[in-house]
Chains A and B, each alone.
Chain A
Amino acid sequence: MAAISPLSPRTKPTPAVDGLSGLGRRFPSRLAWFEGRALGPCVWSTVAVALATLTGIGITSFAPLPNVSMVFLLAVVFSATVFGIWPALLTSVLSFLAYNFFFIEPHYTFSVSQPHELLALFIFLIIAVLTAILAGRARLQATKAIERAWASRRLYEFARRLSSLGNPQEVLDGAVLQVHHELRRASVILLADRGSLAVAAACPPEHAFGSDALSVAQQAYARGELTGAEPGTAAPMSWLFLPLRQERTVGVIGVVRNPTEGPLEPEAMTLLRTLAELTSTALERARLGQEISSARTAAETERMRNILLSSISHDFRTPLASVLGAATSLIDYGAKLPETARRDLLVQVKDEAEHLDGMVRNLLAMTRVEAHALEVNKDWVAVRALFDHAASVARRRGAVQTFGVIVENDLPFVRADPTLLGQALTNLVGNATRHAGSKAHVTLEARRDGAGMLLSVTDDGPGIPAKILPHVFERFVHGPTLGDGGQSTGLGLAIAKGIVEAHQGTISAESPVEGRRGTRITVRLPLTEEPQ
């Protein structure tokens, strides 16, 4: 019957007509009955009286019933039960008139000839009115009970929704929306930040919020109690604020109040308090949740730092040991050593120093990848040159494996940062030589694939254990090493991934490749049109 618009806070509350549509109808204006929407009940009440009259005439034409007035009471009870007190009172008056008109001698006049008839007529009126009031009140209470059930159900749902929100801002937004819905008033939440309040959420968001309202809010926050409820404040539109309190007051929740109306109705007030309480609980919960998750992040960072430190100290120790060992050999026993041995020790010092330099560079690259601070200076790059470079770096670092380079004919240049992509490929080749064993064959292959280019590094070593395969691109993941030492920071593949992704490419690992052996790491880079 009455469609309720939930959005405008200044809509007049809907009269108590249609059963269960909203809390708004819990606070009807007393005058609402006289407005347009009360017309239906008036018509129906009149119809009921007319029916009662016809029934009464029908009955008396068959048998002389002494108390036809009972039939009219039925109409009153009907009206009270279905429409409430005011239509029932109307029914009472109409019944009184109809009874007088049709059934009291002289018929079809409003005059009464016998004094006792007059008495009976007034007793009927009193009974009718009392019936109307009693039945109407019963109806009112039943309606209220239903409304309360609905209200608590909505509160429950609100509480549940709030508690599912992990973000304080979502809680605040949800809360102002709910208050706005329930009380049909503009609502706002202000949170304290170092003593001063600031609007954290409002519904409707564009609602004017003046400095006078802010001072009322400050009062509510400072006192920690309801403020702004006193009637008669000067401003035409003022606010009413409740503190949001958990262990301490964190802010205030406010609704617009029309000063001419006086304070909120008690039920609305209770509702507002309940909503405020739910909101502050949910807010506290969300804040704790955030604290926990940031603590977890910090712990994870700490863990990564520890892994990094232990990884560095472990992986740097071996090259340092060889530098120190070779140097002390030369210092203490150089004179006893043949020329070739002396030279080899010097070469070892140089090699290991380069190795250390490479590890430091990888660590720095990793921190840049982590911080998303890779500087990509793109240029047109020939893949074959990168492959040759990667293989020669590996040989210089003592790789004894055989290398094969396969590059498709007429392969276009690729748009990439030559230094970074070179480092990524060097890391892939280094990874292959470290894990595939000294007798392995490492193949570097490049070919077109649709709109992209595939670069792959394949070895015929023992492969990556299935347990490690999904994690090979994570930091500090080491596979089993073979042959020429396990000097790695566990960062090589992670860095390669970071570099490839900085080029809008993807990287993947498969193992085994052929038979039960081999590992292939494939990089896919997008191809750009070459300039003419």
Chain B
Amino acid sequence: MTRATRVLVVDDEPAIHRFLTPVLAAHNYEVLRADTGADALQLTAVDPPDVVVLDLGLPDLDGKDVIARVRAWSDVPIVVLSAREREGEKIAALDLGADDFVNKPFGVGELMARLRAALRHRMQRSGETPVVRINGLEIDVTRRRVTRDGQEIKLTPREFDLLSVLARHAGKVVTHKHILNAVWGPAHEQDTQYLRTYVGQLRQKVEMDPSDPSVILTEPGIGYRLAEPSDSLVPEPG
């Protein structure tokens, strides 16, 4: 067994540390704590964690500045905590290189899932092209094949491109801008209506119940997220 996964929690509210620390410890994470942006920067530089949970509202530094500075030397996964209604802030954080976000207030299960997705994605980066399985749905990105319970689902090339962008980041949020850029090219970064149309078509084909999506999830105002794969390549630590 390798050493425990180290998670750095950056938040100025002691109450958040109070409930996160025991839960993270129970999942065999080693918890590092920082109350300010300056502490967070110092810790990531001196004693790099495996993943960072960062509250965007810090007393000394803007959380976005912390992301930008960390990204200057490190690609450690960063999951940000932010108020639900502040979409602009979350999009800016994602654009600066944050991996994912959790709306405050949050259930701990949701944060755990985001941490797993962020860690898994980082480990895949150098490895195999993934095959993503979600409740009987199998997306093979390399062979451009999508099957449900062995039955192939016919997708147009655009639909497949869209699905594979989400599959490559399975479990993580992907912003509208990122998807549009990857599928339609940089000239269409603002054309979210394409996206809505194609996501609608795609849901008709891959969802069990298109009116209640469980595969392609909407993050209002921000982007889309493919549900967490049922057979995570990275099991929970411990």
Interface residue ranges, A against B (CB under 8 Å): 317-326, 328-329, 332-333, 336-338, 341, 344-345, 348, 352, 398, 480-481, 484-487
Contacts and interface: CB of A to CB of B under 8 A. Distances in A.
9 contacts: A319-B15, A321-B105, A325-B105, A329-B108, A333-B23, A337-B23, A344-B22, A345-B22, A352-B15
A485 B14 contact: yes
Given A318-B16, A336-B27, A480-B59, 5 more contacts: A324-B105, A325-B108, A332-B109, A345-B22, A348-B19
Contacts of B13: 318, 321-322, 485, 487
B35 to A, nearest CB: 9
A338 to B, nearest CB: 8
Contact of B16 (A322, A336, A481): A322
Contacts of A337: 22-23, 26
Given A332-B108, A341-B22, A345-B22, A321 B27 contact: no
A322 B15 contact: yes
B107 A321 contact: no
A485 B12 contact: yes
Interface in B1-37: 12-16, 18-20, 22-23, 25-27
A480 B14 CA distance: 16
A348 B105 contact: no
Contacts, number: 77
Interface string B186-216: 0000000000000000000000000000000
Nearest to A323: B105
A341 B15 contact: no
Contacts of A336: 26-27
A332 B107 contact: yes
Contact of A328 (B16, B83, B108): B108
B26 A320 contact: no
Chain B interface extent, by class: 20 to 34
Interface in B58-115: 59, 83, 104-109, 112
Contact of B109 (A320, A323, A328): A328
A321 B83 CA distance: 10
A322 B19 contact: yes
A341 B27 CA distance: 13
Contacts of B105: 317, 320-321, 323-325
A328 B18 contact: no
B34 to A, nearest CB: 14
Given A322-B13, A332-B108, A348-B19, A481 B27 contact: no
A352 B26 CA distance: 22
A395 to B, nearest CB: 15
B206 to A, nearest CB: 28
Nearest to A328: B107
Of the candidates A481, A485, A487, the one having the most CB atoms from chain B within 10 angstroms of its own CB is A485
B31 to A, nearest CB: 12
Contacts of A322: 13, 15-16, 18-19
Contact of A324 (B12, B22, B106): B106
Given A329-B22, A333-B26, A486-B59, A348 B104 contact: no
Contacts of A481: 59
Of the candidates A320, A322, A324, A344, the one having the most CB atoms from chain B within 10 angstroms of its own CB is A322
A440 to B, nearest CB: 16
Nearest to B81: A321
A465 B175 CA distance: 42
Given A322-B18, A325-B16, A348-B19, A333 B108 contact: yes
Contacts of B18: 322, 326, 344, 348
Contacts of B83: 317
Contacts of A352: 15
